[in-house]
């Protein structure tokens, strides 16, 4: 291609069908990497590891998840650079992929969510908070939501999520009130054109000001946990959140201890035929030798 490597890599990703929002995020982070590593063509695994060691996240050094994200990004970039002869060696084959714990839901308490909503005013940050807590939107979805995507007549939001997939999310009455008067069709719903990172920073600051340590994405977890606690339908919640698999949705749900206790207590094996002698009250067994069928054939037994 012969141009700037970040631009050329973006063209490569577009040809592969990667979503524009994902390409923009990759390019923004690669700009940081190339700026801080001007000799990136001659980088070694050790020099990249040291650079990652010095990177800082929201709460200090990179988490295992974020470091793993960087490794994945650089593996893809250097693999492309090697194939296009933008560099002679790919050092990423020797990078250490951090061991990551299973994804855990991280909602804030319902009482904290109520405080955050009460303190959030009718400003861009307040609308972003409401969109996350009442519709479960991601920072990028909040950033890209325009007034033409809000159908108040039918009570629906038209949300463009990851992979440019469009989904319809019901407009919660409280969210409708929080959004206030509509703007022009092409105007952002939150009132300003913030990039996803800016949305996340402002929401995190609002949480900090309310005495709630954490980050913006926790509000999406809070929405998912609250919705599941009231409805218990993981498949419907999958569609609302815009997940491809319900397995991903399950990672967003924190099930209360009381719900777990109710689940165990709901188990019952009472069946016609009476309880087995000496069995605890409520425990019964099925006769292992059922009577012959009146039709002259043995009944079908479950294996």
Average pLDDT, the chain: 84
CATH tag, 5-94 = 1.10.150.130
Q: Which of 127, 138, 221, 238 is catalytic?
A: 138
Q: Which of 220, 221, 228, 238 is catalytic?
A: 220
Q: How far is the C-alpha of 104 from the C-alpha of 255, rounded, in Å? A: 11
Q: Which of 158, 201, 217, 254 is catalytic?
A: 217
The question of whether 217 is a catalytic residue gets the answer yes
CA angle, corner 172, sides to 168 and 178, nearest 5?
Answer: 115
- Give start-end residues of each CATH 1.10.150.130 domain in the chain: 5-94
What digits encode the pLDDT tens for the residues 126-166?
A: 999 999 999 999 999 999 999 999 999 999 999 998 878 89
The question of whether 220 is a catalytic residue gets the answer yes
Res 303: pLDDT = 45
Place of tokens 């939501």: 145
The question of whether 243 is a catalytic residue gets the answer yes
Architecture field, domain 110-250: Orthogonal Bundle (1.10)
The question of whether 31 is a catalytic residue gets the answer no
- Contact criterion met (CB below 8 Å) for 286 and 259: no
Q: Which of 12, 162, 167, 215 is catalytic?
A: 162
More confident residue, 297 or 142: 142
Lowest mean pLDDT among 11-20, 76-85, 293-302: 293-302
The question of whether 14 is a catalytic residue gets the answer no
Res 288: pLDDT = 44
Res 292: pLDDT = 54
DSSP 8-state assignment for residue 301: -
The question of whether 138 is a catalytic residue gets the answer yes
What digits encode the pLDDT tens for the residues 60-104?
A: 788 888 888 899 999 999 999 999 999 999 999 999 888 766 566
- Contact criterion met (CB below 8 Å) for 215 and 225: no
Instruction: Please state the rounded mean pLDDT for residues 4-20.
Output: 90
- Give start-end residues of each CATH 1.10.443.10 domain in the chain: 110-250
- Contact criterion met (CB below 8 Å) for 6 and 27: yes
């Amino acid at each position: 291609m012969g141009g700037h490597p970040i631009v050329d890599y973006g063209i490569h990703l577009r040809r592969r069908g990667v979503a524009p929002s994902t390409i923009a995020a990759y390019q923004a982070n690669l700009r940081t990497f190339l700026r801080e590593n001007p000799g990136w063509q001659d980088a070694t695994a050790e020099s990249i590891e040291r650079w990652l060691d010095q990177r800082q996240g929201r709460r200090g050094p990179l988490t295992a998840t974020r470091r793993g994200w960087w490794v994945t990004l650089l593996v893809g970039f250097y693999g492309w650079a090697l194939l296009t002869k933008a560099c002679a060696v790919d050092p990423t084959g020797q990078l250490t992929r951090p061991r990551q714990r299973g994804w855990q839901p991280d909602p804030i308490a319902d009482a904290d969510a109520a405080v955050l909503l009460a303190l959030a005013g009718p400003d861009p940050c307040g609308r972003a908070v409401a969109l996350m807590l009442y519709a479960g939107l991601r920072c990028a979805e909040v950033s890209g939501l325009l007034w033409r995507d809000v159908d108040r007549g039918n009570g629906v939001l038209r949300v463009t999520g990851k992979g440019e997939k469009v989904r319809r999310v019901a407009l919660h009455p409280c969210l409708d009130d929080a959004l206030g008067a509509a703007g022009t069709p092409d105007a952002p719903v939150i009132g300003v054109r913030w990039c996803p990172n800016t949305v996340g920073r402002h929401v995190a600051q609002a949480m900090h000001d309310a005495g709630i340590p954490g980050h913006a994405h926790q509000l999406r977890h809070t929405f998912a946990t609250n919705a599941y606690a009231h409805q218990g339908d993981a498949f419907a919640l999958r569609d609302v959140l815009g997940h491809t698999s319900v397995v991903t949705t399950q990672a967003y749900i924190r099930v209360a201890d009381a719900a777990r206790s109710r689940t165990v207590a709901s188990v019952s094996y009472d069946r016609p035929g009476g309880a087995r002698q000496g069995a605890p009250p409520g425990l019964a067994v099925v006769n292992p030798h059922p009577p012959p069928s009146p039709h002259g054939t043995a009944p079908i037994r479950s294996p």
